[in-house]
Amino acid sequence: MNKNRKPTILAVETSADETAAAVIRGTEILSSVKWSQQVHGQWGGIVPALAKRDHELRIEAIINQAMKDSGIRNQDSIDAIAVTVGPGLAIALEVGIKWAKKLAQEWDKPLIAVNHIEGHLLSAIAMPNRSIPNAKSITFPCLGLVVSGGHTQLILVEKIGKYKILVESVDDNIGEALDKGARMLGIPYPGGPTLEKMAAQGDPKKYKLPLPMAGKEGRAFSYSGLKTAFRRLVLSTQCSVLNGEPDEQVRNDLAAGFQEMVFRHLLRTIKAALKTSPLIPLLSLGEGNEGRGISNLLVGGGVIANKTLRNKLDELGKELNLKVHYPENMMLCTDNAAMIGVVAGYKYGRGEFATEEELERKPRWRIDEPVVK
C-alpha cells in the first residue's frame, strides 16, 4: 500500500432502503450507483425484511455497475473495500457487510468499517466531478448537521474522525416527522419531497401549530408533540385519509404550516445550542461572531434536499458568520455509497482497517463512540 497517493476505494451501503455502491479516490467520486427501494411506499416506513430481500436482489448488479462506471480497469486498482456497519437496520446492514467481506476475500483487499452518520456529515466535501476541484476550505473545529429520516444531530467536528454530539433528537427524527406528517395527508412514504412541493403552494400561517421545546431551545430536537398536534389539526379539518377526499388548498396550507414548524424548531435549536453549548470551545470570539469562532457548517442527510430548509440555513449562516456547505447534488443528500467512500478515504489514511472478524454490524453505532476498526 502506497500511503502517499489517494486511495481508490469501493464503498457499499445498505443500511436502510437504498442499495448503493461507489468508487471513490480521495474525495473524488469516480462512480456512484444507487437503487432506491420502491417496496415500502404503502407501509408508511421501511419494512426491514423487505429491505433486506431487495438489497439481496440488487446488490451484485449495483456493485458491478459502480465498478464499470468508475472507468478503472479492474479490481487491482482498488485499494480497500468500505462498508457501512451502522447505524441502521441490522438485517439490511448484514447484506452489505457480507458482500464487502466476500469481495475483500476474493480480491485480497483490506476492509474499512464506516459509520453512516459520518458519511452524511462528510457528504458536503465529496466531489462529484473531477474537473471541478473541491474549493471548500474548511477550518476545524467546525459544526456538522445531519438531517435525515433516521437522524437529527448537531455535531461538533473537532477534526475529521473526532466528533461530539451537541444536540440530538429525543423522539422522532426530522425526516421521520416529515414522512409521518405527509402520511396524515395521504402521501406515501417517503413523503418529505411531496410535502415540500405541497408546502410551496400553501400558506404556512393559515393554521396554528405549537413550536416544539419553546423556551427550552438548544437542549434537544423533539418532533413527537408537533406530530400529535398536527394529527389533531388534520382530523379537525376533515383532511385525514379516513375522512374522504380533502380539499387541495387546505392540504397545501396544512403541509406548509407543518413544514414551517419542523424547520423553525430545527433552526432555533441550532442557534441556541451554538450560543450556549458548553462543549463548543470559546475560540477567537470576534465581534458579531455568535458562532464562537466556528466558521463552517457541514450539512448532510436526505432532508437537506429541501430548498426551503437550505434558504433558512443560508440566512442563519449570514446571521452567525457561518459558511454553510451542502452536498453538491441531490444524489449525495439521500443515502448513497459515495459518502461512505469519502469517510473511508480518511480512515485509510489513518490506517483504520478492520479484520473480517472485527467487521460486524453495529445498528446503534453513535458517531461519538470510539472508533470501530
Using CB under 5 A as the binding rule, whether residue 14 contacts Zn ion is answered as no
Among 28, 79, 328, 335, binds Zn ion (CB under 5 A): 335
Residue 328 near residue 29, CB atoms below 8 Å: no
Using CB under 5 A as the binding rule, whether residue 222 contacts Zn ion is answered as no
What the block records as the C-alpha cell of 167 is 444536540
Beta partners for residue 19, in sequence order: 35
Using CB under 6 A as the binding rule, whether residue 48 contacts ligand KG4 is answered as no
Using CB under 6 A as the binding rule, whether residue 46 contacts ligand KG4 is answered as no
Considering only residues 310 through 349, tell me which ones interact with ligand KG4, judged by CB under 6 A: 334-335
Instruction: Point out which span in 35-43, 67-75, 274-282, 328-336 binds Zn ion (CB under 5 A).
Output: 328-336
Cβ proximity to ligand KG4: between 266 and 316 the closer is 266
**305 interface partner picked from Zn ion, ligand KG4, none, CB below 5 to 8 A per type:** ligand KG4
Using CB under 6 A as the binding rule, whether residue 96 contacts ligand KG4 is answered as no
Dihedral sign, Cα of residue 142, residue 307, residue 116, residue 34: negative
CA distance readout (Å), 243 to 89, 198, 240, 247, 250: 34, 19, 5, 11, 13
Beta partners for residue 11, in sequence order: 22, 82
Using CB under 5 A as the binding rule, whether residue 118 contacts Zn ion is answered as no
DSSP 168: E
Among 10, 16, 21, 226, binds ligand KG4 (CB under 6 A): 16
Q: How far is the CB of 148 from Zn ion (least distance, A)?
A: 4
Extended beta strands in the chain, E state: 8-13, 18-25, 28-36, 80-86, 111-115, 142-147, 152-159, 162-168, 296-300, 323-325
Instruction: Residue 34: name the closest of 53, 49, 15, 50 by CA.
Output: 15
Cβ proximity to ligand KG4: between 78 and 266 the closer is 266
Q: Is the backbone of residue 213 left (phi > 0), alpha (psi -120 to 50) or beta?
A: left
Backbone angles phi, psi at 271, to 5 degrees: -60, -45
Using CB under 6 A as the binding rule, whether residue 115 contacts ligand KG4 is answered as no
Considering only residues 157 through 196, tell me which ones interact with ligand KG4, judged by CB under 6 A: 175, 178-179, 190-193, 196
Using CB under 6 A as the binding rule, whether residue 87 contacts ligand KG4 is answered as no
Q: How far is the CB of 82 from Zn ion (least distance, A)?
A: 15
User: Given strand 323-325, what is the order of strands in its sheet?
Assistant: 162-168, 152-159, 142-147, 296-300, 323-325
Using CB under 5 A as the binding rule, whether residue 153 contacts Zn ion is answered as no
Task: Tell the residue number behind the cell numbers 385519509, with chain if given.
Answer: 241
Cβ proximity to ligand KG4: between 191 and 218 the closer is 191
Q: How far is the CB of 82 from ligand KG4 (least distance, A)?
A: 17
What is the secondary structure of 232-290 as a DSSP string?
HHHHHTT-SGGG-S--HHHHHHHHHHHHHHHHHHHHHHHHHHHHH-TTS------TT-T
Using CB under 6 A as the binding rule, whether residue 363 contacts ligand KG4 is answered as no
Using CB under 6 A as the binding rule, whether residue 367 contacts ligand KG4 is answered as no
The Cα 373–Cα 235 span in angstroms is 50
Cβ proximity to Zn ion: between 185 and 333 the closer is 333
Using CB under 6 A as the binding rule, whether residue 144 contacts ligand KG4 is answered as no
Q: How far is the CB of 306 from ligand KG4 (least distance, A)?
A: 3
* Length reported for the chain: 373
Considering only residues 273 through 312, tell me which ones interact with ligand KG4, judged by CB under 6 A: 301-303, 305-306
Q: How far is the CB of 122 from Zn ion (least distance, A)?
A: 13
Task: Report helix angle 224-236 to 174-184, nearest 10.
Answer: 10
Q: How far is the CB of 300 from ligand KG4 (least distance, A)?
A: 8
The count of residues interacting with ligand KG4 (CB under 6 A) is 19
State the residues that interact with ligand KG4 by CB under 6 A.
16, 148-150, 175, 178-179, 190-193, 196, 301-303, 305-306, 334-335
State the residues that interact with Zn ion by CB under 5 A.
148, 335
